[in-house]
């Protein structure tokens, strides 16, 4: 005969407490703040929870405490390798804490982002991590009304909602072009896909660096709003070559496009780097192992995720950072694909 439950069939917290030999208050504290219990009591309550199959009612706890023990994470993609690294940092940093991570995917839609932020606000999260700094006026208003710590990630700006961790995409784009120019290249193409706000800031860095060198030419720019792929990199490069066959370098807004350009060069027997320099962005693992190896802008994605969670948790516990904006910077990883013209 099974254990006695409520009429609804749900195990109650007091049953967990009874089986564990602790008070209901102690059993409740196990879910709110397990570090406050002795190791022996934690083990007894944990054993009772598993034996009874008890699932805490987070909604009821949120009503009682005005917040859940959930940290919401709003990102634009679950399949992009860039965000996979960010999520790895988030999960590694939250492991061992009492907070759980709840993911939401905007699919690069500002309307979907607004919808998800409203949903999170209703759920009363302990904290929130949001991608980017270009929220709509409505989304920004929602974030400012969340009554919990909020960290914006992947870039930095002058007006954080609360806290921010990332780097300047404009500066990174400018640095990449400055490096290419220093190698003696002058006809530097720009290939862009998706063209979300962060990509647009990379383009602004490209444009300003080229203007500063009096080399900016709109014919060197090929972009699309469709999602990026390696195949798309080859297609965009083919369009660029048809328009401006005298190009001697190309800056790609991500590494997938850069790899596609390399493959298209190999098909066309264009020598890299003798005839064409290639620079990508993000420095995914395959950039170093490509033949020739590909130069890229390394972004500290794992560290962004790790710092974002740490900032949120410390703010929840009353230890807010003295400086709310953390600039992790970037590194230009120079490899074979962007060597000087005379080498």
Q: How many CB atoms lie within 10 A of CB 63?
A: 11
Is residue 61 very low, low, confident or very high in pLDDT (cuts 50, 70, 90)? low
Tell me the Cα Rg of the chain.
Answer: 25
The length of the chain, given as a count of residues:
343
Please name every residue paired with 221 in a beta bridge, in sequence order, or none if there are none: 190
Q: Looking at residue 5, what is its pLDDT?
A: 45
- The CATH architecture of the domain made up of 68-167+301-329 is 3-Layer(aba) Sandwich (3.40)
More confident residue, 105 or 49: 105
Query: What would the DSSP string read from start to end of 143-155?
Result: HHTS-S-EEEESS
Cα–Cα distance measured from residue 1 to residue 3, given in angstroms and rounded to the nearest whole number: 7
Share of the chain above pLDDT 90, in %: 76
Q: What is the mean pLDDT of the chain?
A: 91
Q: Looking at residue 295, what is its pLDDT?
A: 98
Q: What does the block give as tokens for 149?
A: 């710590």
Contact (Cβ atoms closer than 8 angstroms) between residue 312 and residue 90: no
Q: Looking at residue 32, what is its pLDDT?
A: 65
Whether 49 has a pLDDT exceeding 90, the answer reads no
Q: How many CB atoms lie within 10 A of CB 328?
A: 15
Question: Which residues of the chain does CATH 3.40.50.2300 include?
Answer: 68-167+301-329, 169-298
Cα–Cα distance measured from residue 286 to residue 254, given in angstroms and rounded to the nearest whole number: 12
Whether 59 has a pLDDT exceeding 60, the answer reads no
Whether 266 has a pLDDT exceeding 90, the answer reads yes
Q: Looking at residue 6, what is its pLDDT?
A: 41
Give me the CATH topology for the region 169-298: Rossmann fold (3.40.50)
Q: Looking at residue 63, what is its pLDDT?
A: 47
Q: What does the block give as tokens for 185?
A: 């290249």
Cα–Cα distance measured from residue 177 to residue 281, given in angstroms and rounded to the nearest whole number: 12
Q: Looking at residue 289, what is its pLDDT?
A: 97
Short-list 273, 296, 274, CA closest to 285: 296
Model pLDDT for residues 313-330, shown as the tens digit of each residue? 999 988 988 889 999 999
Is residue 8 very low, low, confident or very high in pLDDT (cuts 50, 70, 90)? very low
Q: Looking at residue 138, what is its pLDDT?
A: 95
């Amino acid at each position: 005969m099974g254990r006695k439950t409520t009429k609804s069939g749900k195990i109650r917290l007091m049953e967990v407490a009874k089986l564990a030999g602790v008070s209901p208050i102690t059993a409740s504290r196990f879910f709110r703040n397990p570090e406050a219990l002795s190791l022996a009591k934690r083990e007894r309550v944990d054993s009772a929870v598993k034996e009874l199959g008890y699932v805490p009612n987070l909604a009821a706890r949120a009503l009682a405490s005005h917040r859940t023990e959930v940290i919401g994470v709003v990102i634009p993609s679950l399949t992009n390798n860039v965000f996979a690294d960010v999520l790895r940092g988030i999960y590694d940093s939250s492991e061992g804490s009492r907070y759980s991570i709840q993911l939401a995917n905007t699919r690069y839609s500002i309307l979907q982002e607004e919808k998800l932020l409203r949903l999170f606000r209703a759920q009363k999260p302990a904290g929130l991590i949001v991608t980017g700094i270009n929220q709509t006026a409505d989304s920004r208003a929602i974030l400012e009304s969340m009554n919990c710590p909020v960290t914006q990630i992947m870039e930095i700006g002058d007006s954080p909602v609360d806290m921010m961790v990332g780097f300047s995409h404009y500066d990174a784009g400018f640095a990449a072009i400055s490096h290419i120019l220093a190698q003696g290249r002058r006809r530097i193409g720009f290939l862009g896909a998706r063209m979300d706000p962060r990509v647009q800031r990379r383009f602004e860095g490209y444009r300003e660096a080229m203007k500063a060198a009096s080399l900016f030419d709109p014919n060197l720019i090929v972009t699309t709003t469709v999602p990026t792929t390696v195949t798309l990199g080859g297609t965009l490069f083919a369009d660029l070559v048809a328009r401006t066959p005298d190009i001697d370098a190309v800056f790609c807004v991500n590494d997938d496009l850069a790899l596609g350009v390399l493959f298209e060069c190999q098909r066309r027997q264009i020598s890299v780097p003798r005839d064409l320099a290639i620079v990508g962005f993000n420095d995914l693992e395959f950039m170093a192992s490509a033949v020739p190896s590909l130069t890229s802008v390394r972004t500290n994605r794992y560290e962004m995720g790790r710092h974002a969670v740490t900032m949120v948790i410390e703010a929840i516990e009353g230890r807010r950072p003295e400086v709310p904006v953390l600039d992790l910077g970037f590194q230009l990883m120079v490899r074979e694909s962007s060597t000087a013209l005379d080498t």
